[in-house]
């Protein structure tokens, strides 16, 4: 199935490129576009790919009946056409031929339909339904049109137009071309209204499903207006008035809908961080206080082992309570945990942990997600201080690994496509950029921070805890950890995009090298655990290392992550060619004699591994032995030899990092 999809992608891109060259040759007499038409080619190809991905065109062609594929391809081509037209109309590319743009979008569309028809005839597909489930669990609408909204929309559109006239000209003077703009605005508004049904009464309890029709309406208005503006060469119409009015109008409608949604939300309800209404948590339960140090007249019962069902009988709204209790009891059923040494609280403030006595808790359970704790390491270190030796810390995380699915399932695809990149930048990128992240924490107070499973586990390990068990329950990751060791004294845990790593260097001294981040933050503190669980593959790397991010795999494959080591080379910590600078744990896996021998030499950026291409760890040891013995006799000659062999293997034989 995947190979068929790849074939379709390649054929589709080839069609787009060849048709553009054909149309360009027909107009100018040469195939390769130049000047503004070269820019148009890049714009066209970008829109075509992005919109095809958005409509899932390449996958759906393998699973839909031909009639449904026709609809998908028609929509994809139409949106591509209007997207190009909008870009051209709003830039200095307005002089590009209209027939040219029609040719490069319409012809590929018909060829796509023809080829897909042949493809399905040759390889019939029994599946006659879409791959992607329709995700509208919160979208409940009636068929009643809200006439008040139509009147309000009409009044708002006219008002905003005249405000824009005032901004542009300084007066409310009615220009000769005003009726053309108003006619175009109302025509596009009516068409968008019919297509999106945005003024139909919407009783959805999800804010994203409320505003989606208005976002779609704005896009449709914009595309239609841009198409008319460009194809009919309406040069007398100021672009600022036309497109500025549409942008301001849609923005106002969305803001009004948001206010209307919040004002009509049931009293006593709130909106969670994904926009789903929920019952406000009771102060008597969710305020910060202990709930398991029972006021029981029978003091003997206070010294019995904790009863989780009894403790959680006070928390009626805790999600998936039975599954959570079953998981915790499974991990702690053999432990002797008294009620008097157990505390279950819900807090994001470390001062509520501070009030507990030091080394007094056998069990400390925080019911609040750790994503909202501002200074997470400080919180974990404080918990370590309050917990007895061999005591337990329990909590849960909304992990980064479930963010994509969690957000996608709770909003329409259009809104998700707009918001997810913003969410990625705000919650994943900015918090890791030095200095800029201070502003982020000031604004957000550290709430809803994106934290991966392995970042959290690395932090827990760093703060003296051992992972006893973890389990996904819906989109939450619950964990049980034990206090087993002291807190790390490392003053430089990795967190930022460029990481500093301690490596064994010349004369067995620890040196600091730099790399672009390819693992989740704090992942280095899990190296021993990962080794015990996964061992090493034939190349000497960890098997299926879960700490590596998706882009980290690409960085490693093409050595992008190694580029900052050029700075270490300039600083004299590394050579260009030499044995790898490895961690203390990895160094401990080497034979004793090789450990002593390799520390007589300075590590390098290009290791002998890529010259000899060993197949397993023992062969890596042999490769390094051979390289170091040759280097000891002829340093410069050996480095040049190994560098050339490595370059040959990389460029000609396609050797890649893991």
Predicted confidence (pLDDT) per residue in 128-185, tens digit: 444 444 444 444 444 566 777 888 888 898 889 888 888 887 776 666 666 678 878 8
Residue range 477-531, pLDDT digits in tens:
999 999 998 888 777 676 778 888 889 999 999 999 999 988 888 888 887 777 6
What is the predicted pLDDT for the residue at 388? 93
Same domain, 314 and 230: no
DSSP 445: T
Cα–Cα distance measured from residue 462 to residue 77, given in angstroms and rounded to the nearest whole number = 53
Element (H or E) spanning 390, and its range? strand 387-397
Computed on alpha carbons and rounded to an integer, the radius of gyration of the chain in Å comes to 31
Residue 498 lies in a domain: no
Phi, psi of 393 (to 5 degrees): -120, 130
What is the predicted pLDDT for the residue at 597? 93
Residue 497 lies in a domain: no
Cα–Cα distance measured from residue 57 to residue 50, given in angstroms and rounded to the nearest whole number = 10
Residue 457 lies in a domain: yes
Query: What is the length of the chain?
Result: 658
* CATH code of 462's domain: 3.40.50.150
Q: Are 511 and 573 in contact (CB under 8 A)?
A: yes
Reference 248, options 230, 221, 229; nearest CA is 221
Average pLDDT across each block of 10 residues of the chain; the chain has 658 residues. List them in order: 68 89 90 89 89 77 69 83 80 79 88 75 52 42 64 87 84 66 83 84 76 89 83 70 89 88 58 35 34 46 64 68 88 84 86 89 91 90 94 93 87 87 84 79 81 92 92 93 87 78 91 90 81 62 78 84 92 92 88 92 90 85 92 92 88 65
Q: Tokens 């950029």, residue?
A: 433
Same domain, 178 and 34: no
Handedness of CA 36, 42, 44, 50 (dihedral sign): negative
What is the predicted pLDDT for the residue at 338? 82
CA separation, residue 8 to residues 5, 61, 113, 503, 518 (Å): 5, 9, 12, 47, 32
Same domain, 329 and 477: yes
State which residues form the domain around 37: 2-122
Cα–Cα distance measured from residue 61 to residue 68, given in angstroms and rounded to the nearest whole number = 9
Q: 68: exposed, middle or buried (C-beta count within 10 Å: 0-12, 13-18, 19+)?
A: middle
Handedness of CA 425, 428, 434, 439 (dihedral sign): positive
Same domain, 330 and 230: no
- The count of structural domains within the chain is 5
Same domain, 568 and 600: yes
Provide long-range contacts, Cβ within 8 A and 24+ apart, for 316-325. Answer: 317/279, 317/281, 317/282, 317/285, 318/367, 319/474, 319/476, 320/473, 320/474, 320/476, 323/473, 324/473, 324/478
Q: Are 575 and 546 in contact (CB under 8 A)?
A: no
Q: Could you say which of 122, 152, 173 is where a domain stops?
A: 122
Residue 493 lies in a domain: no
Cα–Cα distance measured from residue 598 to residue 504, given in angstroms and rounded to the nearest whole number = 10
Same domain, 391 and 412: no
Q: 488: exposed, middle or buried (C-beta count within 10 Å: 0-12, 13-18, 19+)?
A: middle
What is the predicted pLDDT for the residue at 398? 93
What is the predicted pLDDT for the residue at 193? 84
Same domain, 317 and 354: yes
Q: Could you say which of 462, 483, 504 is where a domain stops?
A: 483
Q: Compute how many other C-beta atoms are within 10 angstroms of the C-beta atom of residue 315.
A: 16
Q: Could you say which of 56, 89, 122 is where a domain stops?
A: 122
Reference 468, options 573, 330, 582; nearest CA is 330
Same domain, 531 and 638: yes
Same domain, 475 and 458: yes
Cα–Cα distance measured from residue 175 to residue 500, given in angstroms and rounded to the nearest whole number = 64
Residue 11 lies in a domain: yes
């Amino acid at each position: 199935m995947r190979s068929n999809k790849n074939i379709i992608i390649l054929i589709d891109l080839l069609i787009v490129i060849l048709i553009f060259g054909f149309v360009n040759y027909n107009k100018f007499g040469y195939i390769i576009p130049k000047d503004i038409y070269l820019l148009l080619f890049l714009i066209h190809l970008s829109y075509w790919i992005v919109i095809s991905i958005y409509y899932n065109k390449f996958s759906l062609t393998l699973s839909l009946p031909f009639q449904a594929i026709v609809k998908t391809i028609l929509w994809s081509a139409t949106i591509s056409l209007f997207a190009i037209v909008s870009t051209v109309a709003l830039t200095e590319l307005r002089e590009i031929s209209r027939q040219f743009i029609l040719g490069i979008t319409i012809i590929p569309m018909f060829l796509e339909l023809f080829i897909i028809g042949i493809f399905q005839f040759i390889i019939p597909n029994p599946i006659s339904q879409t791959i992607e489930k329709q995700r509208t669990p919160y979208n409940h609408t009636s068929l009643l049109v809200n006439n008040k909204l139509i009147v309000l929309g009409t009044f708002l559109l006219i008002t905003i137009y005249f405000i824009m006239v005032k901004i542009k000209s300084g007066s409310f003077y009615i220009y000769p071309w005003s009726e053309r703009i108003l006619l175009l605005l109302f025509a596009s508004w009516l068409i968008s209204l019919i297509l999106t049904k945005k003024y139909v009464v919407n009783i959805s309890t999800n804010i994203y499903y409320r505003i989606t029709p208005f976002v779609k309406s704005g896009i449709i208005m914009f595309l239609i207006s841009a198409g008319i503006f460009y194809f009919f060469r309406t040069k007398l119409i100021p672009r600022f008035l036309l497109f500025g009015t549409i942008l301001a109008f849609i923005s106002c409608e969305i803001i009004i809908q948001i206010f209307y949604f919040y004002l009509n939300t049931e009293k006593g309800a709130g909106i969670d961080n994904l926009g789903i209404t929920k019952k406000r948590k009771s102060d008597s339960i969710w305020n910060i206080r202990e709930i398991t140090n029972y006021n029981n007249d029978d003091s003997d019962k206070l010294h019995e082992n904790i009863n989780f069902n009894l403790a959680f009988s006070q928390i009626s709204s805790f999600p998936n309570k039975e599954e959570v209790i079953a998981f915790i009891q499974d991990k702690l059923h053999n432990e002797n945990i008294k009620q008097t040494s157990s505390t279950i609280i819900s807090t994001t403030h470390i001062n509520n942990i501070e009030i507990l006595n030091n080394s007094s808790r056998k069990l400390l359970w925080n019911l609040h997600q750790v994503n909202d704790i501002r200074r997470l390491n400080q919180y974990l270190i404080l918990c370590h201080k309050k917990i007895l030796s061999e005591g337990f810390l329990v909590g849960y995380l909304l992990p980064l690994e479930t963010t994509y699915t969690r957000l996608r399932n709770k909003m329409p695809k259009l809104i998700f496509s707009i918001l997810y990149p913003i969410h990625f930048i705000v919650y994943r990128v900015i918090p890791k950029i030095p200095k800029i992240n201070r502003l982020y924490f000031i604004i957000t107070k550290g709430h809803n921070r994106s934290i991966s499973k392995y970042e959290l586990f690395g932090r827990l390990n760093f703060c003296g805890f051992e992972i006893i068990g973890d389990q996904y329950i819906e989109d939450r990751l619950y964990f049980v950890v034990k206090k087993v060791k002291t807190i790390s004294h490392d003053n430089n845990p990795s967190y930022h995009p460029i990481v500093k790593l301690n490596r064994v260097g010349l004369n067995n001294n620890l040196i600091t090298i730099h790399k672009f981040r390819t693992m989740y933050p704090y992942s280095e503190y899990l190296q021993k655990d990962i080794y015990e669980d996964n061992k090493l593959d034939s190349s000497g790397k960890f098997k299926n290392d879960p700490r590596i991010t998706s882009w980290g795999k690409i960085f490693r494959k093409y050595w992008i992550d190694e580029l900052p080591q050029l700075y270490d080379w300039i600083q004299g910590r590394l050579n260009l060619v030499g044995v790898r600078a490895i961690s203390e744990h990895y160094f401990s896996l080497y034979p004793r004699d090789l450990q002593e021998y390799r520390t007589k030499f300075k590590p390098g950026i290009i290791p002998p591994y890529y010259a000899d291409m060993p197949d397993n760890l023992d062969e890596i040891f042999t490769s390094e032995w051979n390289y170091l013995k040759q280097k000891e006799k002829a340093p410069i000659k050996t480095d040049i030899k190994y560098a050339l062999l490595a370059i040959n293997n990389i460029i000609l034989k396609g050797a890649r990092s893991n």
